[in-house]
Chain A
Amino acid sequence: MTGRARARSRGRGRGQEPAAPGAVSLFKTAKPVMPTPPEGQLVGRGRQKPAPGQQVVILISISAGFQQVKIGERGGRRRDFHDSGVHTRQLMEHVKESKTGVSGTAIELRANFMRLLSRPLWALYQYHVDYKPPMESRRLRSALLFQHEETLGKAHTFDGAILFLPNKLHNTETVLCSETRNGEKVEITVTLTNELPPSSPVCLQFYNILFRRILRILNMQQIGRHYYNPDDPFNIPQHRLTIWPGFVTTILQYESSIMLCTDVSHKVLRSETVLDFMYSLRQQCGDQRFPEACTKELVGLIILTKYNNKTYRIDDIAWDHTPNNTFKKGDTEISFKNYFKTQYGLDITDGNQVLLVSHVKRLGPSGRPPPGPAMLVPEFCYLTGLTDKMRADFNIMKDLASHTRLSPEQRETRINRLISNINRNADVQNELTTWGLSFENRLLSMNGRVLPSERIIQGGRAYEYNPWTADWTKEMRGLPLISCMSLDNWLMFYTRRNADVAQSLLQTLNKVSGPMGIRMQRAIMIEYEDRQESLLRALQQNVARETQMVVVILPTNRKDKYDCVKKYLCVDCPTPSQCVVSRTISKPQALMTVATKIALQMNCKMGGELWSVEIPLRQLMIVGIDCYHDTAAGKRSIGALVASLNQGMSRWFSKCVLQNRGQEIIDALKGSLQAALKAYLKYNNCLPSRIIVFRDGVGDGMLQSVVDYEVPQIMQSIKTMGQDYEPKLSVVVVKKRISSRFFARIDGKIANPPPGTVIDTEVTRPEWYDFFIVSQAVRFGCVAPTHYNVVFDSSGLKPDHMQRLTYKLCHMYYNWQGIVRVPAPCQYAHKLAFLVGQSIHKEPNMNLDDFLYYL
């Protein structure tokens, strides 16, 4: 697995299993919280200029929506990252009037949004420009047109055929006469074709382009879709890391106004070339193993070239190529060495370095097919992003976090600084005023609601938790669990070195399990040699059909042994298992806490239940879906589906599928949903009358396909349970990676909003039935709200109930005695997909489907 894949999955997992120091460092929770995922979705920015012929096509379809129109500027793929144009709310009768809830107490918030202000009756006027005689060159067209700047005004955007002006010309059709330098007269007809209101899609696209221009005026560098400030970097010299602070910005039509949403973002860059990296790798592993190690480390990484701002993915290494090889440029053969010298004045110092291969998918100039694989010189390629090794290095991550994890106060200050820069910079103001636009110079103030905190039900008793910490570790101490599996036949594997810690773990487990209500027999202790093969052999020899639980104490947090245990016990010999890194249990003072968490986790894995909250809806099945993409290695995506089996949301059915190439994740999950319904039927003797699907893992710009494709597939899948079976269905798209942030003022200080804060006005989108919930509490940094978008709902459930149910479900993740960032089934699905994608790479054995074996 590569850094990139891990970054992604982490990026997603971020925040739920979190930052709490002292949390049980079992294998998977051992790694610290990630900062902004560093891997850039760096897109190339060679823009294709449309051939003159294409422009006509664009013109015809201009009113069809802005996907078809472009106001030319740079930017590679044109994708609707903001999912605008997906209108789902209008199809849901019960939220047409109002989609806001009522529960809870009001709280004043500030959000990282600024209103875009335009003078009254502002509009963008779209003109079609015609030349007689026709002029081919786009540059000539614009030169001829702007001989009439006094008529057209200073502010204009012209792409060769379509002209946008902030002011209306006197006549709908204006005929202008220009003259080329050799005296040829050209008649230019400028015809008004459209008057675009401020909220029209083309205008929105226009604002975003304008804002990008502004960021460039402020000397920000574009990387991918975002802009960063290169003048104030921070470095981690040990690994030659450079971090640039920057901003993510979008201008969209929100509930009541057009606003700019801007959040702080960071970019991790490395001042190390691939050649440097190769040198040190060769030094580490020797000539013999170098090619293999090199391929393993480098393939899949994204590099940035020195001579332009382009990024490439390393797909292969050309071991038989050096810079002295030649390639065809035009009609002549030229060596890489000479090419770089004459083109960029760059000298290659190592003539023996091998070259890197990248299969470029970008189209060639003017839409020609991709030019074939690109050969890159390692010396001129900078590495980007973090490697696994860096991620595993606690100190780097801490250093990174100390700069990238901003407190609410710091974050607000940074955003305010951007606002004041925009307002102070004369060039920026000039640009804005010529277009008749401006930004409100403060953050949006608005109201949210804090939902009442839930009562946790456990062992016939109910208790409350501290609403600020959103954690009930202390409260549940000494209380019996809802249901306990007794441990009669279980094994503990350890290495000789860890014999002592194994013994003390065993004793402590015994001590803590009593009050919870878990009966525990003594485990069978098995020593294994510290090698992967001997561990596997020990498992094969000792794990039997009646074994209830296998505990493995791992000497280090190296991945291979963990993978080996999980692979064997999830696929070949289905048995719940628990891995513990010896370091975690080596501190006597922390052992009680750790053992408690382990005991809870083991109980869940065997089918026990810990706690519950009141769910005021009956015959309800909640489904969570998430997926894991291992794109770097070109592996298949993995989809996981987790569905509730009982009223208390304490038992779950889980299924994980590996997606085939070219297949949508939902195709593979259809069968899983049917299996889940059958399992529900088995447990409850009836099918659910309501199904609510929480779909996580939907990328930017994928919403349309969820609505158009996945929802019908889900319905179809339900239909297979019987023609007259028509449960009420809701589909909610869950999004964690969003740039909206909210700040509260608590005791005069800027702070995170408390857990349970719901925001369903102002910053939501008018075309959606959506809301935000801040569900978890974080100790450091800014809390990230989660966005919920109900894309389909035949339940008739009030928005208030939908919000509260969602929040209740955030209480039900058993690996964390507190509130998590997403509904529990999503978190479970994430965990499962991650385990399969990272360690098992196969579909787990179906005997485990009824257990939370992947916790």
Chain B
Amino acid sequence: MCLMRTHSRADLTKTLAMTTPFSPPLYMQRYQFVIDYVKTYRPKKVIDFGCAECCLLKKLKFHRNGIQLLVGVDINSVVLLKRMHTLAPLISDYLQPSDGPLTIELYQGSVTEREPCTRGFDLVTCVELIEHLELVEVASFSEVVFGYMSPGAVIVSTPNAEFNPLLPGLRGFRNYDHKFEWTRAEFQTWAHKVCRDYGYSVHFTGVGEAVGHWREVGFCTQIAVFQRNFHDTMSNAKRLEPSVYRLMYRVVYPSLSDNNIYQRTLVNEVLYEAQHLRQEWLSRMNMDSSNNAHFCAPPLMDVFQHGLEGGTRDCQPVYQQGGTICVPLARVWSSPRVRALCGSVQRLREELQVDSRVRMSADGTVLILPAAADDEDDEEVEEEENVKAVSGVANNVEEDWDRELGCYGNV
């Protein structure tokens, strides 16, 4: 049924585009409505019922605004299977992991079934969904969503039947799969009952307005935004494995909240910075003098004693000590990228000291890098490999393939 829903969405939009010029198209406006809501209220866990081709999820994945768990539920598993890979992380998500975590899950299931793992969400969206349910199902839908799941907020959108006369050529419902299309009053009656029964408050809005005197018919799509009145007790509950729904897809996005990824990103950034400083120093040394090759200037320990946060920070020079180049941590710390990753020098030092890819001085103030480029020629090892007999050497008898072919001719 939900499969048909998106279908209708597209068809409807097409018709509307020709007659009532909604720009951007109505379905986009509905998505945008959800995106704007997310931007304002910043829910962490969002569930989209009837996600079908996952368009809304795909949009929310870009407009995350702090969403950490994004769940899509649809009754049709075929369409989920077909589209689920569009929700996979992009290559760039791996190249530049985001700050906050994000997990996307897709389930096959029905809004009229109670699924424990759907409880404790901050936002539930049901975009153009309820009109595909029989009226009896709507009752159990209300019970499941508001009574059982009791999320922080619910967005429900549905066609406004009063708008239908403005849609040219439309007879009956906007889509053959619609079981009903409500007027504003009908919708509001249902919504207020839900509020009374389950402890929510609601306000009504919509997208797609008619022009001129037609305005009074209301929005083409009417939207109810429900807010829960009581405090929630489940949002921190442990995530459960689904027991009623079927998990179709789960992907965990790479993010800096994963310690391994954080460590890797930070070390890469630090080493990038340090190597650059080293390179810069080496090329300056080369330019300075070809005679004064062994320039050793351990720049006075007292510079260090002034503390890393001191004003002399940026002046702390890179220097050579024996076969190594020493890069003061403070210089690396001055990189904005490193700063963004790491709140304080203290933390930076701690992170680096436990990483095997970074060599640091004992007091943790200096990064140690090799001075010379590793010797370019691997020493040629004259290996006298013990000769193993692989195969005989061609015998000394001279061959003549022409003769073998019997075409030994005019030589």
Contacts and interface: CB of A to CB of B under 8 A. Distances in A.
Interface of A: 21-22, 25, 104-105, 137, 139-140, 142-143, 146, 180-182, 184, 216, 219, 221, 223, 230-231, 233, 235, 237-240, 242, 269-271, 304-309, 330-332, 342-346, 382, 394-395, 398, 450-455, 464, 466-469, 590, 614, 616-619, 689, 746, 754, 756, 796-798, 801, 805
User: DSSP majority for the B interface?
Assistant: loop
20 contacts: A21-B380, A22-B377, A25-B377, A142-B78, A181-B4, A230-B91, A230-B94, A230-B254, A240-B272, A307-B62, A308-B90, A343-B62, A398-B374, A450-B390, A455-B393, A466-B385, A617-B401, A689-B410, A754-B390, A798-B401
B391 A104 contact: yes
Contact of A182 (B85, B89, B177): B177
Given A450-B390, A617-B401, 14 more contacts: A21-B377, A21-B378, A142-B78, A184-B176, A237-B272, A238-B275, A270-B95, A344-B62, A395-B374, A450-B391, A467-B390, A468-B388, A797-B401, A798-B404
Given A139-B3, A307-B90, A468 B374 contact: no
Nearest to A228: B91
Nearest to B389: A467
Contacts of A467: 387, 390-391, 393
B272 to A, nearest CB: 5
Contact of B405 (A344, A398, A796): A796
Contacts of A239: 272
B268 interface: yes
B390 A271 contact: no
B391 A242 contact: no
Contacts of B387: 466-468
B400 interface: yes
* Listed residue (B23, B398, B402) with the most chain A CB atoms within 10 angstroms of its CB: B402
B404 to A, nearest CB: 8
B302 interface: no
Q: What are the nearest 5 A-B pairs in CB distance?
A: A182-B176, A22-B380, A237-B271, A181-B177, A237-B268
Contact of B90 (A306, A395, A801): A306
A142 to B, nearest CB: 7
A618 B63 CA distance: 74
B7 A140 contact: yes
A22 B269 CA distance: 35
A237 B78 contact: no
B237 interface: no
Contacts of B264: 233, 235
Given A306-B92, A452-B393, A756-B390, A238 B272 contact: yes
Contacts of A142: 78
Contacts of B176: 180-182, 184
Given A469-B385, A614-B399, A233 B94 contact: yes
B394 A453 contact: yes
B271 A137 contact: no
B337 to A, nearest CB: 10
A805 B392 CA distance: 17
A230 B374 contact: no
Contacts of B373: 394-395
Contacts of A746: 388
B381 to A, nearest CB: 8
B201 to A, nearest CB: 29
A801 B401 CA distance: 7
B161 to A, nearest CB: 17
Given A21-B380, A382-B92, A796 B393 contact: no
A230 B253 CA distance: 11
Given A21-B380, A139-B3, A181-B1, A240 B392 contact: no
Interface string B51-88: 00000000000111100000000001011000001001
Interface in B254-292: 254, 264, 267-272, 275-276
B363 interface: no
A74 to B, nearest CB: 9
A350 B346 CA distance: 31
A625 B7 CA distance: 56
B176 to A, nearest CB: 3
B358 to A, nearest CB: 10
B62 A345 contact: yes
Interface of B: 1, 3-4, 7, 23-24, 32, 62-65, 76, 78-79, 85, 88-92, 94-96, 176-177, 251, 254, 264, 267-272, 275-276, 373-374, 376-380, 385, 387-388, 390-396, 398-402, 404-405, 407, 409-411
A685 B275 CA distance: 64
B37 to A, nearest CB: 14
B172 to A, nearest CB: 9
Contacts of A271: 95-96, 268
A798 B264 CA distance: 58
Contact of A453 (B65, B388, B391): B391
Given A237-B271, A454-B394, A467-B391, A618 B411 contact: yes
B329 to A, nearest CB: 16
Given A140-B7, A394-B373, A617-B402, A451 B23 contact: no
Given A21-B377, A223-B91, A468 B390 contact: yes
Contact of B400 (A238, A240, A616): A616
Nearest to B264: A235
B393 A105 contact: no
B233 to A, nearest CB: 32
A464 B254 CA distance: 57
A468 B385 contact: yes
A618 B254 CA distance: 65
A96 B242 CA distance: 60
A332 B411 contact: no
B94 A451 contact: no
Given A139-B7, A142-B78, A182-B176, A240 B268 contact: yes
A453 B23 CA distance: 77
Contact of A309 (B64, B76, B91, B394): B91
Contacts of B4: 143, 181
A9 B135 CA distance: 69
A221 B91 contact: yes
Contact of B89 (A181, A230, A398, A614): A230
A269 B393 contact: no
A616 B410 CA distance: 15
B144 to A, nearest CB: 22
B333 to A, nearest CB: 16
Contacts of A798: 401, 404-405
Contacts of B271: 237-238
Contacts of B396: 455
A382 B392 CA distance: 54
B64 A345 contact: yes
Contacts of A330: 23-24
A452 B394 contact: yes
Nearest to A22: B380
B90 A452 contact: no
A176 to B, nearest CB: 17
Nearest to B271: A237
B330 to A, nearest CB: 19
Given A343-B62, A345-B63, A453-B393, A237 B378 contact: no
Given A237-B269, A344-B62, A394 B376 contact: yes
A807 to B, nearest CB: 11
Nearest to B386: A468
Given A468-B387, A614-B398, A796 B272 contact: no
Contacts of B79: 139
B392 to A, nearest CB: 5
B90 A332 contact: no
Contacts of A614: 394, 398-399
A330 B17 CA distance: 12
A738 B154 CA distance: 56
Contacts of A796: 405, 407
Given A304-B92, A307-B62, A618-B402, A143 B390 contact: no
